[in-house]
Amino acid sequence: MSVASSSGPGRSAERAARVPRLLEAVLSVGSGLELHSTLDRICATAAGLTGARYAAIGVVDEDGDGLADFVHHGVDEVTARRIGRLPDGRTGLLGALIRDEQPVRLADLAQDPRACGFPEHHPPMRAFLGLPIRVQGEVFGNLYLAEKRDGQPFDDDDLDMVRVLAAEAGIAVGNARLYEAAEQRERWIDGSVAVTTALLSGDDADDALQVVAEQARRLSGSAAGAVLLPADVGGLEIVAVASHRPSALLGAVVPAENELIAELLAGEPVFVADASTDPRMTTEYGRAYGPVMMVPLQSAGRVLGALVTPRARGERPFTRTERTLAVQFASHAALALMMAEAHRDREQLAVYEDRDRIARDLHDLVVQRLFATGMMLESAQRRSRVPEVRAGVGRAVGELDVTIQEIRTAVFALEQGPAEAPAGLCSRVLREIDTAAVPLGFMPSHRFVGAVDALVGDLTGKNLVAALREALSNAFRHAGAGRIDVEVDATATLPDGRPGVRLTVADDGVGIPPGGRRSGLGNLERRARSLGGDSRHGPGLGGGGGGTTLVWEAPY
């Protein structure tokens, strides 16, 4: 039902008196740049200008068939919480306004056939005025006013003033959107710089990937962020997770047969409107979320992995701008990942070249000199007539023979290529120890307890080797250790009584200084907890607080 207003000298005077208020309202609407505060200001200004108790702005979504946001004025927070979920604009009078894009003025909402009633705890409303807000010719949303304080319906003057206010609001919203888009792009650029710095800094690769996950979660406003890389068995493995809550996803593998993973590996981004109802989500973890953005880590036509940012159930979907920025962010991260990978390959090649040089020097110089020294001692032994001297020289020659055999064993280990290493966990542990011996300058001792290869599963074994690598790296870079003892115990009993495997790495170095870098220890704790285990550290072999003993344990 439309409402007509009366005219006359009194009405003209009243209209003239409201002009200064309208001008003041126009100035107020355009006084800020932050979008949400601008919408709040428009609602409050429109309500004050027309004497309405309630005002709201429904922001139309990108598809044009519902509301992406709903900003309201006049309903207190307690009442809003009791009402519950905000309107989505797909049904009722709000939905009709989105489709018709024409002003609507009603004396009684309940009498309009398009109205579908109010939810429980909603305040009563009768008089209603709604009209679109246009930004650069396109409908941005609708301004709704309800229930005038004097109990009268909205009149022609109210509609005229709100039309002027809506036009100015469109300009203010346009400016706010431009400002917000610029700030949003700046934040994503800063995030890309942080990721590039982390990946190329030469620090631990797991820490760098954790930075990627945390930046993606923060920038996209998601509940979590996850980085997935190709798994040895196919599909994608979750290698880094950033979330407010502890996650058991670290180390999980999503098979290549999954429809979503297949699209990602093909280099196509995937956007899920609601993971809780999407049939392509095959795990309970995925169904716990709402909108999900999954973009490939892709550079130069090569897919290195994927970046996943899910939002909580009921949260707004990702906008086109957010999707575009996420794809660009993932592309920058992939390029930095490739550069970091090339840098690590160069470093690894330098290590292998150094190992080859050391092996040649040991074989060509040290072994030959020791062998020649042994020959001279044997000759002296034969010429000596003193039994004690002969016996002592004989023991020295025996020690030289043992030393030569140990050096030859070390030479063989140094010359062994990556492809020649056996697949067992014991062999992988030995390989890590052999690799660490080169920068350390000495060979860490090792001990295996129980049937390590038979009892420890692939996922736990992979994380144990990563924990060992981190511990040996810390001992080399920070501890200045001269002795390191490594023990892998497959007969361990975890604190909760379950059987498991325990890795113990102890050194006699300087220990961790107060305020020292502990991100590596945090990474070890995340790996252990993702498997249901634990990681802790204490005093090492140095005595008196010197050195560090790291204990990492997890169920089989």
Q: Which of 10-14, 111-115, 272-276, 489-493 has the lowest average pLDDT?
A: 10-14
150 shares a domain with 232: no
Looking at residue 479, what is its pLDDT? 64
CA nearest neighbour of 470 among 409, 384, 528:
528
Looking at residue 247, what is its pLDDT? 65
**What's the whole-model pTM score?**
0.54
In whole angstroms, what is the distance from residue 207 CA to residue 354 CA?
A: 27
Q: Output the average pLDDT for the chain.
A: 81
Looking at residue 269, what is its pLDDT? 94
Q: Over the stretch 130-153, which tens digit does the pLDDT of each residue have?
A: 999 888 888 888 999 999 988 899
pLDDT at 56 over 60: yes
Count of the separate structural domains present in the chain: 3
pLDDT at 420 over 90: no
pLDDT at 249 over 90: no
Check the CA dihedral 510-513-516-519 and report its sign.
positive
164 shares a domain with 237: no
Q: Over the stretch 428-462, which tens digit does the pLDDT of each residue have?
A: 898 888 878 877 878 888 888 888 888 998 889 98
In whole angstroms, what is the distance from residue 508 CA to residue 488 CA?
A: 19
pLDDT at 1 over 50: no
Mark 6-31 as b/e (b = at least 16 C-beta within 10 Å). Answer: eeeeeeeeebeebeeebeebbebbbe
- Hey, is 320 helix, strand or coil? helix
Alpha helix (H) residue ranges in 58-204: 77-83, 92-100, 156-200
Give me the mean pLDDT over the 26-46 stretch. 78
CATH for 56: 3.30.450.40
- For residue 372, CA distances in Å to 118, 389, 391, 462 come to 100, 19, 19, 45
Q: Over the stretch 80-112, which tens digit does the pLDDT of each residue have?
A: 888 887 888 888 888 888 888 889 999 998 888
453, part of any domain: yes
- pLDDT band for 490, please (50, 70, 90 cuts): very high
238 shares a domain with 144: no
Looking at residue 98, what is its pLDDT? 85
The token duo for 148 is 């005038």
Look up tokens 């190329």; give the residue: 200
307 shares a domain with 439: no
211 shares a domain with 64: no
- The helix (run of H) or strand (run of E) holding residue 437 is helix 425-440
Looking at the chain, the whole-number percentage of residues with pLDDT higher than 90 is 19
Looking at residue 511, what is its pLDDT? 64
- For residue 369, CA distances in Å to 238, 372, 373, 382, 395 come to 52, 5, 6, 20, 18
161 shares a domain with 15: yes
532 shares a domain with 434: yes
Q: Pairing state of beta strands 499-507 and 546-555?
A: antiparallel
386, part of any domain: no
The amino acid present at 409, given as its one-letter code, is T
In whole angstroms, what is the distance from residue 213 CA to residue 308 CA?
A: 8
Q: 332, 364, 397 — which closes off a domain?
A: 332
Give me the mean pLDDT over the 528-543 stretch. 77
* Parent domain of 256: 203-332
The token duo for 119 is 């939810």
72 shares a domain with 106: yes
pLDDT at 3 over 50: no
159, part of any domain: yes
